[in-house]
Structures are given as structure tokens and as C-alpha cells.
């Protein structure tokens, strides 16, 4: 339809330019312009009809046979088939991610900071038919003053395999940690070769524990590199009573909280959401002193 209309427009413009309807002369250059435009449209249609099919045919001859063979043949290279699978499907998803967050007062009472310790518990499901173990990198942002934060624990376990666990010191000895110029501490999980693969449809639990510092009015982003179906946030510590705390899932709403007072008088604040979080979509933990919140 598009080519037909373009061809008709080209013919109409050419006929119009060569008719007596359009005036000629130095002050009327439209005849030449319309004639050139009409010829250009006709040439474009001809090229579309001839060159495009030729290009498609050439692509099918040179690439099509090899491509279909690589996809369907059992003799195709494994790396090619694995690459196609990696592009076509996710390696898995996180059924539930629980963040256990401890906010405590700084040892230096004159310092306007809080100590922040975060334990991330990701309960995942494997969708990769080749099995799965963590091979990507994860990171934690620098402390409030730009110095590196600290990894204190990493573990990977499942009922399908023998679990592994590394302390922060172990991660350093394995050269799994790198400090970037921005101050971020990056953990390369591919260096943790003792972690066994979890089979297709298998479930696993991946723990990461980090320690850092923040200002008394600050925020901390929490996110994963896989789809997360449910998120739970448990916040405790001796600084909790001093702070107005909230969590917002970016692109969503501020989460409702549930406060539980333990028999020892300590407080645990729980936030929970079943809104799906996509890879990289952060939930923002924010806090500020109550007196600042009251005056706002």
C-alpha cells in the first residue's frame, strides 16, 4: 500500500510538472522542483522493489542456513546455544528478598553519623536449564565520608548442594573484593568457585552482609539485579527511636510500616511489599531525626 501510494504520488508530480498547469519562467521554478521530486519518488519505489528483496535473499543464503542449523542442530557449538539461551530467558528470579537492617548510634557521640549494617537474604529460584550459581558482581556504596564500606559475610546454600560461607577476611584473601575510585566496594562472585551450581527449578539462599556509615539525615538504596516478587524490610537498632524512618519503592508508593516491641523493650520496624521489583529498581530507605521531621 505504501509503495503504491508513493509510486502514484511520483507519477502525479511528474505529469503535473510536464503539463501546462504550472507556469514556467525565471519567477516560477516549481516545474523543475516538482519534476525532480516526482522522479525521486519513482526511483525510491523501484529501489525498494529490487534492492530490498535482493538484500533479503542474500541474507537468507549467507546467514539463514547457518543460523537455523546452530539453533536446532544438536551438533551446534555449546557456547552459541548458551548465548542464545542467555539472551532469550532470565537465569532465575528472587522469590523473596529480606533486608535485615541495623541502625545504631555512632561510637563517637559528637559525630553526626549512624552505623548501618545490612544483611541481604535473597531466596531465589533457578530458571536456567544449565544450572545456576552467582557469577556477576555486586557492590556497596562508600561510607558517608567516602571511605570504603565493608563486606562482612557471603554465603550460598541450597538443599540441592553443599553450602559455602565466607567471612569478610576470607573474601579479602580470595581477592574477591575491589575498591573503585568512587569508593564503592565491589564483590566479584565469580571468584568464589566453591559455590556449587543449583539445578533447574532448584531453590537457593544467598546471604550478603555489609557494614557502612551514614549521616543522621540520609538514605540508602536497596536493589537486586534480578526480578524480585516480594520484599521484606526489618529495621532495628538503638538509633531507631531517634529517627523518622520510611521506605519508598521507586516508581511506587511509600510502604506502610508495622512496629513490633520486643519483651526487652527493643523495637523492630517491618515493611513489606508484594509489588514486583525489576532488576535495578531500588527501594529507598530514608531516615532523619524526629526533631527535624517535626519542624518540617
pLDDT by residue, tens only, the chain of 296 residues: 766 777 677 777 777 767 666 555 554 556 666 666 777 766 666 666 555 565 555 655 555 555 555 555 666 667 766 666 665 567 789 999 999 999 998 776 567 899 999 999 999 999 888 889 899 999 999 999 999 999 999 999 999 888 899 999 999 999 999 999 989 999 999 998 777 889 999 999 999 999 999 999 999 999 999 999 999 999 999 999 999 999 998 887 789 999 998 888 789 999 999 999 998 899 999 999 987 655 55
Nearest to 224 by CA among 99, 128, 102: 99
> What is the reported pLDDT for 120?
98
Do 282 and 225 contact (CB within 8 A), yes or no?
no
The length of the chain in residues reads 296
Nearest to 18 by CA among 47, 39, 40: 39
> What is the reported pLDDT for 46?
64
> What is the reported pLDDT for 162?
85
Largest CA distance in the chain: 100
Q: Which residue has the cell 575491589?
A: 178
Do 170 and 156 contact (CB within 8 A), yes or no?
no
> What is the reported pLDDT for 63?
54
Q: pLDDT tens-digit profile of 217-256? A: 999 999 999 999 999 999 999 999 999 999 998 887 789 9
> What is the reported pLDDT for 151?
97
> What is the reported pLDDT for 40?
72
Who's near 250: CB < 8 A, 6+ residues apart? 281, 282, 283, 284
> What is the reported pLDDT for 292?
60
**What's the whole-model pTM score?**
0.69
What distance in Å separates the CA atoms of residue 79 and residue 71, rounded to the nearest whole number?
11
Distance of CA 75 to the CA centre of its chain: 34
Strands of 133-256 (E only): list them.
137-140, 150-158, 161-167, 177-179, 185-188, 203-215, 218-222, 231-236, 243-249
What distance in Å separates the CA atoms of residue 53 and residue 172, rounded to the nearest whole number?
59
> What is the reported pLDDT for 262?
82
> What is the reported pLDDT for 69?
57
**Beta pairing partners, 206:** 122, 156
Q: Which residue has the cell 552482609?
A: 209
* Cα–Cα distance list, 106 to 114, 143, 162, 170, 211 (Å): 5, 13, 38, 27, 13
> What is the reported pLDDT for 230?
96
> What is the reported pLDDT for 78?
72
> What is the reported pLDDT for 289?
93
Strands of the chain (E only): list them.
92-105, 113-126, 137-140, 150-158, 161-167, 177-179, 185-188, 203-215, 218-222, 231-236, 243-249, 257-261, 267-273, 283-289
What distance in Å separates the CA atoms of residue 199 and residue 113, rounded to the nearest whole number?
44
Amino acid at each position: 500500500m505504501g509503495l503504491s501510494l508513493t509510486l502514484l504520488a511520483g507519477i502525479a508530480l511528474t505529469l503535473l510538472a510536464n503539463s501546462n498547469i504550472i507556469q514556467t519562467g525565471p519567477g516560477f521554478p516549481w516545474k523543475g522542483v516538482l519534476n525532480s521530486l516526482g522522479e525521486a519518488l519513482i526511483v525510491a519505489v523501484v529501489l525498494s522493489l529490487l534492492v530490498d528483496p535482493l538484500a533479503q535473499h542474500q541474507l537468507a543464503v549467507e546467514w539463514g542456513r547457518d543460523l537455523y542449523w546452530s539453533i536446532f542442530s544438536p551438533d551446534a557449538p555449546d557456547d552459541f546455544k548458551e548465548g542464545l539461551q542467555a539472551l532469550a530467558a532470565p537465569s532465575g528470579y528472587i522469590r523473596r528478598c529480606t533486608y535485615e537492617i541495623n541502625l545504631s548510634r555512632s561510637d563517637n557521640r559528637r559525630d553526626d553519623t549512624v552505623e548501618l549494617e545490612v544483611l541481604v537474604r535473597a531466596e531465589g529460584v533457578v530458571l536456567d536449564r544449565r544450572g545456576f550459581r552467582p557469577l556477576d558482581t555486586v557492590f556497596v556504596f562508600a561510607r558517608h565520608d567516602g571511605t570504603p564500606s565493608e563486606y562482612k559475610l557471603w554465603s550460598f546454600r541450597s538443599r540441592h548442594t553443599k553450602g559455602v560461607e565466607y567471612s569478610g577476611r576470607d573474601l579479602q584473601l580470595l581477592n574477591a573484593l575491589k575498591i573503585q575510585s568512587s569508593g564503592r566496594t565491589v564483590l566479584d562472585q565469580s571468584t568464589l568457585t566453591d559455590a556449587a551450581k543449583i539445578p533447574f527449578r532448584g531453590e537457593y539462599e544467598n546471604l550478603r552482609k555489609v557494614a557502612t556509615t551514614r549521616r543522621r539525615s540520609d538514605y540508602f538504596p536497596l536493589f537486586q539485579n534480578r526480578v524480585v516478587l516480594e520484599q521484606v524490610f526489618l529495621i532495628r537498632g538503638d538509633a531507631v527511636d531517634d529517627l523518622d524512618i520510611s521506605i519508598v519503592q521507586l516508581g511506587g508508593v511509600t510502604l506502610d510500616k508495622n512496629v513490633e516491641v520486643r519483651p526487652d523493650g527493643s523495637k523492630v520496624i517491618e515493611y513489606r511489599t508484594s509489588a514486583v521489583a525489576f532488576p535495578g529498581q531500588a527501594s529507598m530507605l530514608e531516615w532523619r531525626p524526629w526533631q527535624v521531621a517535626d519542624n518540617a
